Homo-oligomer: A and B are copies of this chain.
Amino acid sequence: MEAAGPTSSPRLPADDATGRRPRAASILDVAAAAGVSYQTVSRVINDHPSVRPTTRELVLAAIEELGFRPNRAARVLRGAPARLVTVLTSNTSLYGYQAALQGIEEAARAAGFAVGVRVVDSALQQQVTAAVKRAIEPGGSLIVIAHDQTGAMALEAVPPGIPMAAMIETPAVDPGPERPWVWLDDKKAAAEATRYLLSLGHRTVHYLAIPSSTQTSQRQAGWRQALEEAGAPVPAPVQCGWTPRSGYQTGQGLAADPEVTAVLCGNDDLALGVMRALHAAGLSIPGDVSVVGFDDTPVSEFLTPPLTTVRLDFAGLGRSCFALLLALIEQKEARPPHTRRPEPELVIRESSGPPSLPRGSGMTRAAAT
């Protein structure tokens, strides 16, 4: 690390004798070196068919020697697509967002696209609109992560005509293939998780909601539907934030309510906070209360107890989303590829189990009816 090595000069913009950064080699420099016209060089770097093989070799050698790389700005100025995707998101640290970004980056890199990130953190439509406008570059494209209110507003604010795809919350009705939108079907998954908890013998399941761009998310709708189909009582869903702290605060309330024996949390961070609060209140998991999360973050498997959760492949969704965008840009068939949607999957671990009624009776404390 501390070896001075070959790069011993301080990294300052001005570098050579003239005090100017040495201009990068251009197509003209290559042309001169190869003894051809600049247009021939252009043809070579664009794989135009009618270049004599010997000429091509000549040019390629010159390119190699001069370390030539085409100037992206010039291409874009000329009207070429910039092979750039800017990700619009309200957050970069929450698991779902971060994993989505990772998936997009992977796919974009594989396709030779540059990736930009622009965080939009306002809740005011006007400011969001302005931020979206700033994010639009000539020749560029957009992916909007619209898992929340701000994201949905950003999606709304994207003007027509610019290549775009979006990751959205599960919609109530399929918007149809002409909308460049992808999502994970978490309604089904929420229902499955709820049915699973009911099947363990719980009388009902309480739901902790993460913020949503809609009044009631499909995640919540799936939960409700499963309860109703089973004839179980439907408790009021509890509105929470995204963070473990939010789950912790909510969990303190749940701990005091002996009716609560099973909790479905809108994400794993909430579940983590809930488990902490329950544990601190002297309740055992899953002995007294079962806790199920959403996401399957990398840590969930190693919590105490390991968390039962619905795995959501946000990285895969990000890759799909980019694939959709790419198809749109390249317009192969004018029909979006309708990429496979990664299926959510319930991962059963140790934070869920049969109830021991009345709660608290089990191994922890004496019953109190």
Contacts and interface: CB of A to CB of B under 8 A. Distances in A.
Interface of A: 1-2, 5, 7, 9-16, 21-22, 24, 69, 71-74, 76-77, 82, 92-93, 98-99, 101-102, 105-106, 109, 114-119, 133-134, 137-139, 146, 152, 156, 158-165, 168-169, 171-173, 175, 178-180, 213-214, 243-245, 247-248, 269, 272-273, 275-276, 279, 298-299, 301-304, 306, 328-329, 331, 334
A168 B3 CA distance: 13
Given A178-B10, A328-B13, A169 B138 contact: no
Is chain A's binding surface mostly helix, strand, loop or mixed? loop
Contacts of A178: 10
Contacts of A160: 7, 9, 11, 15
A26 to B, nearest CB: 10
Contacts of A138: 24, 71-73
Counted per complex, copies of this chain come to 2
B7 A158 contact: yes
Given A101-B92, A114-B118, A304 B328 contact: no
Given A133-B69, A244-B299, A162 B11 contact: yes
The 3 tightest CB contacts between A and B, nearest first, are A15-B161, A73-B76, A244-B302
Nearest to A336: B10
Contacts of A93: 98-99, 102, 298
Contacts of A73: 72-74, 76-77, 82, 137-139
Given A11-B158, A303-B303, A304-B304, 7 more contacts: A1-B214, A7-B159, A11-B163, A105-B117, A115-B118, A273-B302, A303-B304
